[in-house]
Chains A and B, each alone.
Chain A
Amino acid sequence: MTAPGVQLSLDGIRKSFPGKGGPVPVLDGLSFDIYERDFVSIIGPSGCGKTTVFNVIAGLLEPDSGTMTFRGEVVPGLQGRVGYMMQKDLLFPWRTVLQNVMLGLEMKGVDRAQALDTAREYLSTFGLSGFENAYPKMLSGGMRQRTALIRTLIMDPDILLLDEPFSALDYQTRLYLEGVLLDAVETFHKTVVLVTHDIDEAVALSKRVVVLGNRPTKVKSVHKIGLDARSPIGARSDPRFSDYFQTLCGELEIQTRQRAA
């Protein structure tokens, strides 16, 4: 496999938050690369600033120092270029499913009739036809998260930023949505950055896993995942799956021991 080009490169990102006794450093010179059409998972001990990394990439937080380079061009953040998805579905309760899906297109200023067509098409692709006029309150958790995924994909972002998108769902729904996500990423040729606390999910979905250390956070290691199966269930039954799983668990476990000592 030839090495694909670097799409986004983080270099020496530092970020601290004001605390009681002066600033608390959270990110301490974070550097890693994301390739074109990559699927990178970011895992790390809880409270290590995974979500902060995510917000910096999304352009919602400004790093104290360090640079981000997007396709060879230094950028302050990727506002408008990323699709953003969180554990909370973040659907607008006062908008119907259709209106929620169209949100990103509205922000981009896409013509309304065209946006309607696109939204209907996506909804039928993802099996949500017939729910166009339902309000999010009326849907199940899995359907809500699927709607959120459609809303993210329909904007045609360069990078999908997913912050534990499935962790609030039950296991079957999660497996199903992981499959939907992988298919969608294949079809639409997307780059994905997935923040998760779930090693199992990280191994099953990713091409590469970035392990973060304790706060103040640096990149501890980057693992390439070479599973052939491109389905969440197939990947989990791959004989090498448990090796990767053990390795990553080991990385995180060492840190918990250090913290305990």
Chain B
Amino acid sequence: MATHTLKTSEALKTSKNLKSSSPASTRPTRQPAARPRVKPSAFARGADTTLGRGIIQLLAVAVFFLAWEGAVRAGWLTEFLVGAPSGIWRVFLASMLDGSLPVDTWYTVIEAIIGFLIGTLVGSLAGLGLWYSAFVARLVEPFIVAINSVPKIALAPIVILWFGTGFVSKVALAVSLTALVALIAAYQAARDADPDLQALLASMGASKNRIFKSVIVPSTLPAIIGMFRINIGFALVGAVVGEFISSQRGLGHLIYSASSLYDLNTVWVGLFVLMFVGFLLYHVIDFAERRILPWRQITTAGQVQV
């Protein structure tokens, strides 16, 4: 997240620089309403750094929880219905100390990650494979669309019936949620791969396999890795919903059983841990993307990004 905001803010700065250095002749047409250009204040410049933004973000979180706590203490909110930060913290500490929270988190995370890996891998490979044959692709397209239009969560009861109430059913649910997303994204990206690059390789006498390896795979990677971000979320949904329906462990189990006991503080602990896990996994993928696609990270100095 931090890197993204950094990029946009830098881009905005460049675009400002470009505007101010644009030739005088283009100015009247470009800027009919000549707005006075205000230099960012010293405070704004100091705040727009990684540290500055971090402080502001932390402050925002602190204010949110303080207001929540204050409202509960003042009696504007009932702790029974919304919980309270102090209570959430107590539950968090207690469940960390007795080891139940780490175990629940571990279950959910492993279910989601294994489901993500299997679903994404199988889906991406199948999607890329469809590039090989336009005939097969056209043949299976209506089936893919039909299966994809079923809300996968509706499959959960069947998945539990088939795969039991244990670990496997949660992984299966995560796979069912991620596989088709991966397949469609990979196939779409493979279809959008530049036909001229493929023609160039063909003119060099390259085989279809060679074109697949040298053009299709690298040019679909950005879309496929972009899809990872969506799928890691879907995998967590699959794991948690599986746990809602029937389970002995996991964050979904924690949230579901606590909410049926009106133990809102415990529900919040589960939700915040889930949020943290999703956040972490998102950044793992972000990191992987920068490693795998170094050529995507380059922005030329003159490039304007609005």
Contact = CB atoms under 8 A, between A and B. Distances in A.
Given A90-B197, A93-B295, A94-B293, A58 B218 contact: no
Interface in B199-252: 199-206, 210, 214-215, 218-219, 221
Contact of A94 (B200, B202, B218): B218
A36 B227 CA distance: 51
A232 interface: no
A249 to B, nearest CB: 30
B300 interface: yes
A26 B300 CA distance: 42
A250 B229 CA distance: 60
A92 B218 contact: yes
A54 B206 CA distance: 18
A76 interface: no
Nearest to A151: B200
Contacts of B293: 94
Contacts of B205: 79-80, 107
Contact of A137 (B196, B201, B295): B295
Interface in B89-103: none
Contacts of A135: 294-295, 298
A164 to B, nearest CB: 13
A138 interface: yes
A179 B122 CA distance: 51
Given A90-B196, A92-B218, A107-B210, A80 B204 contact: yes
A84 B204 contact: yes
Nearest to B199: A60
Contact of B200 (A59, A84, A93, A137): A84
B218 A104 contact: no
A60 B196 contact: no
Contacts of B199: 55, 58, 60, 84
B202 A60 contact: yes
Interface in A50-94: 55, 58-60, 79-80, 82, 84, 86, 88, 90, 92-94
Nearest to A90: B200
Contacts of A155: 204
A199 to B, nearest CB: 25
Contacts of A108: 204
Interface residues of A, number: 24
B295 A60 contact: no
A59 B215 CA distance: 19
Contacts of B197: 90, 92
Given A88-B196, A90-B196, A92-B197, A137 B300 contact: yes
A86 B196 contact: yes
B298 A137 contact: yes
Contacts of B201: 103, 107
B14 to A, nearest CB: 15
A71 B295 CA distance: 42
A7 B210 CA distance: 29
Given A88-B196, A90-B197, A135-B295, A60 B203 contact: yes
Interface string B175-199: 0000000000000000000101101
Interface string A185-225: 00000000000000000000000000000000000000000
A113 B294 CA distance: 24
A107 B206 contact: yes
A161 B200 CA distance: 11
Nearest to B210: A107
A122 B205 CA distance: 22
A43 B250 CA distance: 71
A151 to B, nearest CB: 9
Contacts of A86: 196, 200
Contacts of A95: 295
B203 A82 contact: yes
A82 B48 CA distance: 54
B214 to A, nearest CB: 8
Contact of B203 (A59, A92, A94): A59
Contacts of A90: 194, 196-197, 200
In this complex, the member of A79, A90, A93, A94 whose beta carbon has the largest number of chain B beta carbons within 10 angstroms is A94
A60 B211 CA distance: 14
A138 B298 contact: yes
Nearest to B198: A60
5 contacts: A90-B194, A92-B197, A92-B215, A94-B221, A104-B204
Given A58-B199, A84-B200, 12 more contacts: A55-B199, A60-B203, A80-B204, A82-B203, A84-B203, A92-B215, A94-B221, A94-B295, A95-B295, A103-B201, A107-B205, A138-B298
- The list of the 8 closest CB pairs from A to B, nearest first, reads A80-B205, A84-B203, A107-B204, A58-B203, A94-B218, A135-B295, A94-B295, A79-B205
Interface of B: 194, 196-197, 199-206, 210, 214-215, 218-219, 221, 293-295, 298, 300
